[in-house]
Structure 1
């Protein structure tokens, strides 16, 4: 799916996927399928990381990833920040959304931006997964540094070729991603960090009934919001994924 081009030649980031950790993701997806009528398909295995996943594809080129650990030694030894975060979630028994990815086709440009602005980061990390049909899916991930026990900064992903596409039309859920909310302790401070890190520009400020405000940015396929609180909350039609 093409990205919307902005003034100056940049492209609008898109919400790619929500990462949900579970001790038994098979039970989690069975519950999601029954309670919310969500179509979930097997993703595959990440052999070097000791992880595997199941996926729920949505209408507007987004999806939910249930990520599980099948080799604890590999997962805990990984230098990939997402796998480190997954291993941390395993230790803390955090069966919930733990991260999300913003999709880009300008990763090299973002790396240059990070270097120029002296923004600490890790990567890019190559990723690959053998799909159930035997083909190999490849991508790159870039991680602004963050403290996983204190804050969440989404990682950036760039897919090779057509990217992570559903195996067939029947695998796509008739619901769209609309909003991802990130809970933060200081909205003003976090807004500046998100602006600088992801080149988002100034946010739209929305005042709510709790005497707090929401900082909001447009994405290619939805909205990114910072709210007072903790954790992640993602909306896909009537489906809400949160702690």
Structure 2
């Protein structure tokens, strides 16, 4: 997958049940990152992604809206206070817009990334500059909700996100209701973890961008979440 395309997609788009790659058991003591805002479940078709999640949770995600000029649409499901799952897929009505390979080529829905929230994105950007950490943004994004209200945010992405294991950072406009507030409820994110062959490198990078994230050693980069639902616990992985 082209890294620039994937990053650009995550930057502006503001996740699979049973990972395609077998992951080893991870410690139960892992916690959800304090600043985690949402996780992204990519699907090559939105209805398919919604049905997939509902099959494993008994909770049906609600249509969120489209991303004009970005070629995507989404559906949302709350994962607790200020946390949610975003199911994101190509928008068939934007066929003329470049479709990102990260979702169009997926054989099945899967986790493709995550976002961390900041209420001080400009200040955070300055702190990154002082450390010599390269990034793009903050850049503005928006989408219209089904009720006609405009949801607005700004996003910043790290140039080195360790293969997608680190998030992009999002600051929601003060006049926008956070998506977790009115998204369908019933599920809770209970764990969120990363795995990588370069564990020490990632552990060094995490505090530099003011995050907390449990990291395991594994033979390829991977994210994994555990969600509590009306059907019990299930795993979401990349």
TM-score (norm 1): 0.73
- Tell me how far 1:31 sits from its aligned partner: 2.4
Equivalences for residues 25-174 of structure 1 within 5 A: 25-70=46-91, 71=94, 73-76=96-99, 87-90=100-103, 92-93=105-106, 95-146=109-160, 150-161=163-174, 162-166=176-180, 168=182, 171-174=183-186
Query: Which deviates the most, 179-188 or 129-138?
Result: 179-188
Determine if the alignment matches structure 1 residue 234 to structure 2 residue 225.
yes
3-state SS in 1 of match to 2:138: strand
Q: 1:72 to 1:192 in 2, by over 3 A?
A: farther
- Tell me how far 1:27 sits from its aligned partner: 1.2
Q: 1:33 to 1:151 in 2, by over 3 A?
A: closer
- Tell me how far 1:29 sits from its aligned partner: 1.1
Structure 1 distance, partners of 2:119, 2:34, is 9
Gaps of 5+ in 2: 1-32
Q: 1:231 to 1:75 in 2, by over 3 A?
A: farther
3-state SS in 2 of match to 1:74: coil
Q: Pick one of 194, 201, 208 that aligns with 1:182.
A: 194
Q: 1:184 to 1:146 in 2, by over 3 A?
A: same
Q: How many residues align?
A: 196
Structure 1 distance, partners of 2:113, 2:177, is 19
Describe the superposition over 1:171-199 as per-residue Cα deviations: whole angstroms up to 9, x where unpaired: 44233222211221111111111121x12
**Residues 39, 173 of structure 1: 8 Å contact kept:** no
Describe the superposition over 1:114-154 as per-residue Cα deviations: whole angstroms up to 9, x where unpaired: 11111110111111000000110000110011378x44321
- Tell me how far 1:225 sits from its aligned partner: 1.5
Q: 1:147 to 1:63 in 2, by over 3 A?
A: closer
**Residues 46, 128 of structure 1: 8 Å contact kept:** yes
Structure 2 distance, partners of 1:53, 1:124, is 22
3-state SS in 1 of match to 2:214: strand
Structure 1 distance, partners of 2:35, 2:210, is 13
- Tell me how far 1:55 sits from its aligned partner: 0.6
Greater relative contact order structure (CA < 8 Å, 6+ sep): 2
1:4 aligns with none
Describe the superposition over 1:67-98 as per-residue Cα deviations: whole angstroms up to 9, x where unpaired: 1112355345xxxxxxxxxx131365364111
**Residues 69, 75 of structure 1: 8 Å contact kept:** no
Q: 1:163 to 1:225 in 2, by over 3 A?
A: farther
3-state SS in 2 of match to 1:111: helix
